[in-house]
Structure 1
Amino acid sequence: MTSVHDVAAYILAREGNLSTMKLQKLCYYAQGWHLAWHGERLFDEPIKAWRMGPVCPALYRYHRGQASVSDWPQGSKELISPSGASTIDIVADFYQPFTGFDLGNRTHSERPWLEAWESAPPQHRGNAEISTETLREYFRSLHEGSEHTD
């Protein structure tokens, strides 16, 4: 299975320097859309509902204290499958105009983050995992909704 570190390496090789917030959100969206389109996780590491939106703690441990990053030596872009690369490319192209803060704000109105954030008692907020099933259902509903609009 591909690691979130491999996904980050692929995104940064493709996009160059990114804010760490945008990198986090692109990994989140890539996971969600990959679940919707392919029915399987793009990476195994959990995503948590933090105050600023979805965050993968496995990435955070490496970029903590940095505002931006330009490469990700902890991962390998070569380990991304063709379907994974396709998902990441589509996600990166679609969300490219948005800043990390824009994407963080966007996630605050989306069901996966809202459910995880609001289901946790106040003292545990920021520690609740965003469910893979909720991600799959939410992004699948977006995908199916887009097929019915012309």
Structure 2
Amino acid sequence: MTMFDAKQIANWFLAKHKAMMIEDDAIDPMTQMKLHKLLYYAQGVYLAVSDDRLFSNDILHWDHGPVVEEVFQEYKGRKSIDDDITEHQLSDFRTVNSDEMVNSVLEAVYDKYAEYSGSQLRNMTHSERPWMETKHNEVIPVELIRDYFKSEVVE
């Protein structure tokens, strides 16, 4: 199993979302807030089903929910983050997609959570143990995420 970087997983979500927007113009653009919550849910589900991390980056407890700082810095100050998908993002999509288990987890997470807005996802994460049991600006422990997703999210 290859562990990915959160930016690669973010690029998977951005490319997937852009493709869905092209098919259905009622789908809203991806926001940074929504992307971070999808990364959190992807990490949680993957931890629950495999006991391994999907990506190596830490997830932090910020005011608006779980955030991966490296991805935040990449899109800082931008509201819409999926205007144009670059060749680099498509390359990351293909690389991530080539791992069957990772792809199936990401597809499941996207199918379950992409319909929600960033604000709705923020509110959902605020009611979940990993966020509630971690102090502001601290790393949300991987073990806490894994245990929560094993007991509460993944069936």
Q: Same fold (TM over 0.5)?
A: yes
Corresponding residue for residue 97 of structure 1:
115
In structure 2, distance between residues paired with 1:42 and 1:95: 17
Q: CA RMSD in A?
A: 1.6
Q: Which residue of 1 is the match for residue 17 of structure 2?
A: 15
Which of 38, 54, 60 is 1:48 aligned to? 60
SS in 1 for 2:134: helix
* Aligned residue runs from structure 1 range 1-80, under 5 A: 1-16=3-18, 17-70=29-82, 71=85, 73=88, 76-80=92-96
Give the length in aligned residue pairs.
137
SS at match of 2:37: helix
| Cα distance in structure 2, aligned partners of 1:24 and 1:143 | 18
How far apart in 1 are the matches of 2:40 and 2:14?
15
> TM-score by structure 1 length?
0.85
Q: Distance in 1 between matches of 2:115 and 2:42?
A: 16
Q: Please report how far the alpha carbon of residue 96 of structure 1 lies from its aligned counterpart in structure 2 after TM superposition.
A: 1.9
TM-score (norm 2): 0.83
Q: Post-superposition, which runs of at least 4 consecutive aligned residues in structure 1 deviate over 2 A?
A: 71-75
Q: Distance in 2 between matches of 1:103 and 1:143?
A: 14
Deviation at 1:79, TM superposition (A): 2.5
Give secondary structure in 2 for the equivalent of 1:18. Answer: coil
Deviation at 1:143, TM superposition (A): 4.3
Contact 1:9 1:77 in 2 (8 A): yes
| Structure 2 segments unaligned to the other structure (5+ residues) | 19-28
Corresponding position of 1:120: none
**In the alignment, what sits opposite 2:144?**
134
The alpha carbon displacement at 1:54 in A equals 0.2
Give the C-alpha shift of residue 78 in structure 1.
2.4
Kindly indicate whether the alpha-carbon contact (under 8 Å) linking 1:112 and 1:134 is maintained by their aligned counterparts in 2. Answer: yes
Does the 8 A contact of 1:111 with 1:138 survive in 2? yes
